Amino acid sequence: MRRAGELVVDRQVHAAEIARLHSHVVCWPTPSGCNIWTVAIGPDGYGRFYLTRDSVGFCVRPHRYALAIAGGSVAAGVLGLHECDNPVCVKIAADTDPHQHSVSGSQGDNMEWMARMRRGGGHAVRRCDSRGVRRERSVALCEAVRHSWDAAAVQAALLGDQPTLW
């Protein structure tokens, strides 16, 4: 895995980038819900946001870019972690919001969270959390909200092919 470099986002200098990011985000209908990235999804199920600065193109995770918007920058090696467990969420966790979304953390924090969610870290990996299934769920969620909010499609995307108890 390539180490994430420092990411600086100046609200004035990078206003066009910020507007482009926001144009690809759909907010959950309730305040506690995720903000969903609706375009480029990588094979790992996480979003991709392509930038060009000083004639050099590069790709960042949209939730990490959103963290940089909130704080002005994200230091090298600092990742965006999804405490909401939704890889296409770009909502930044607020101190006043009891519902955590994207937060800054280290790779160690990420591995600890992964283990708590039983996606590795010494635990047997849940079948529903394979990389391909995660991508399928991310793409389905993006499609469910891209043009208008479709509650039934959102629920189907989040549940995937998992049986329910009700």
Instruction: Quote the number of domains for the chain.
Output: 1
**pLDDT for res 158:** 82
- The residue with tokens 């955590």 is 100
Residue 116 included in any domain: yes
Residue 165 included in any domain: no
pLDDT band at 47 (very low <50, low <70, confident <90, very high): very high
Residue 31 included in any domain: yes
Which residue in 81, 57, 40 sits closest to 49, CA to CA?
Answer: 40
DSSP secondary structure string for all residues of 92-129: BPPTT-SS--EEEE-HHHHHHHHHHTTSSTTSPPPGGG
- Is the per-residue pLDDT at 157 higher than 50? yes
**pLDDT for res 85:** 84
Residue 2 included in any domain: no
Amino acid at 91: K
Range of the domain at 68: 7-157
pLDDT band at 105 (very low <50, low <70, confident <90, very high): confident
Mean pLDDT, rounded, for 59-79: 93
- Is the per-residue pLDDT at 14 higher than 90? yes
Higher pLDDT, residue 117 or 88: 88
Residue 110 included in any domain: yes
